[in-house]
């Protein structure tokens, strides 16, 4: 496959960026999108040019590091992570636009790399449970209803990639935050911090400068792990409940 790539290049957070066009050939349809970028970078290095900076880690679709906007869609044309997107989803001769996540709370570090530490601070505000130290308790020591366990597992699948923020026209982090809140709040182990968790995490989210949710649903459509849109309503109910009870 021969492709035309239009890639956002930006030397640093305080420098202006622009789309730069590259031609890349010899791309196998079985390559992942990141492998295709590796091929481009090898050519750029051989020419003495700076390679394109992009985030990646596990390349197995479970770490969420590889986020980028491809042809206007978070992670590209398939509902998956960028590292699991294969070039067979494109045609020979295609022009592909590649950009970083676009959100005020995700400032560009370089090229396609953005600073997503805002997510870490949201989790740090309440994404934990109180547990006594010592030996691990028996797995069945605290009974968990199956419905609660299923809901917790569903929301625990969130990998914090940021696709929900990138897809949202408002740059909202409501789906991400609700996944972390619901995951712990439905479990008995999460009960002690239930009220403070939702209050603290929502306040941290707002402080980071994410936009408000208007229920367009683009976040859930883009989420590679299928976090459901009703999670936001569940978090809103938790927030209202906590507010009426004093919040802490």
pLDDT in tens, 227-243: 999 999 999 999 999 99
Which residues of the chain carry a pLDDT beneath 50?
A: none
Specify the CATH number of the domain 116-130+140-244. 1.10.1060.10
| Cα separation, 116 vs 6, whole angstroms | 23
Show me where the domains of the chain are located: 3-110, 116-130+140-244
Instruction: Give the pLDDT confidence score for residue 109 in this predicted structure.
Output: 97
Instruction: Give the pLDDT confidence score for residue 140 in this predicted structure.
Output: 77
Which residues, including other chains, have CB under 8 Å from residue 148's CB and lie 6 or more apart? 186, 187, 188
Tokens of 177: 């935050």
Q: Exposure string (b/e) for 48-61, b if CB count within 10 Å is 16 or more?
A: eeeebbbbbeebeb
Instruction: Give the pLDDT confidence score for residue 247 in this predicted structure.
Output: 60
Instruction: Give the pLDDT confidence score for residue 94 in this predicted structure.
Output: 97
Instruction: Give the pLDDT confidence score for residue 142 in this predicted structure.
Output: 83
Instruction: Give the pLDDT confidence score for residue 38 in this predicted structure.
Output: 98
Instruction: Give the pLDDT confidence score for residue 194 in this predicted structure.
Output: 92
Task: Taking the CA atoms of 168, 170, 173 and 175 in sequence, report the sign of the dihedral they define.
Answer: negative
Instruction: Give the pLDDT confidence score for residue 248 in this predicted structure.
Output: 58
CA count, 13 A, side-chain hemisphere, 243? 8
Tokens of 46: 């051989």
The CATH number of 3-110 is which of 3.10.20.30, 3.30.465.10, 3.40.50.10110, 3.10.129.10? 3.10.20.30
DSSP letter at 211? B
The three-state secondary structure class of 126 is helix
E strand or H helix at 5: strand 3-9
Please tell me the pTM assigned to this model.
0.93
Instruction: Give the pLDDT confidence score for residue 246 in this predicted structure.
Output: 74
> Rounded to the nearest 5 degrees, what angle is found at the Cα of 159, between the Cα atoms of 96 and 36?
25
């Amino acid at each position: 496959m021969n492709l035309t790539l239009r890639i956002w290049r930006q030397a640093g957070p305080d420098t202006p960026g622009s789309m730069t066009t590259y031609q890349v050939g010899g791309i196998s349809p079985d390559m992942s999108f990141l492998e295709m970028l590796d091929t481009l970078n090898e050519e750029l290095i051989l020419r003495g040019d700076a390679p394109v900076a992009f985030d990646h880690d596990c390349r197995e679709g479970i770490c969420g590091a590889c986020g980028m906007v491809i042809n206007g869609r978070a992670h590209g044309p398939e509902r998956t992570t960028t590292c699991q997107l294969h070039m067979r989803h494109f045609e020979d001769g295609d022009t592909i636009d590649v950009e970083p996540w676009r959100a005020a709370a995700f400032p560009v570090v370089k090229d396609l790399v953005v600073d997503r530490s805002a997510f870490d601070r949201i989790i740090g505000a309440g994404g934990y449970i109180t547990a006594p130290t010592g030996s691990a308790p028996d797995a069945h020591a605290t009974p968990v209803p199956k419905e609660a366990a299923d809901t917790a597992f569903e929301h625990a699948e969130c990998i914090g990639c940021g696709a929900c923020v990138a897809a949202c026209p408002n740059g909202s982090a409501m789906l991400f935050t609700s996944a972390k809140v619901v995951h712990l709040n439905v479990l008995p182990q999460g009960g002690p911090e239930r009220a403070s968790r939702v209050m603290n995490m929502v306040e941290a989210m707002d402080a980071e400068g994410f936009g408000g949710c208007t229920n367009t649903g683009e976040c859930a459509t883009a989420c590679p792990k299928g976090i459901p849109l009703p999670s936001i309503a569940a978090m809103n109910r938790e927030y209202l409940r906590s507010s009426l009870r004093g919040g802490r």
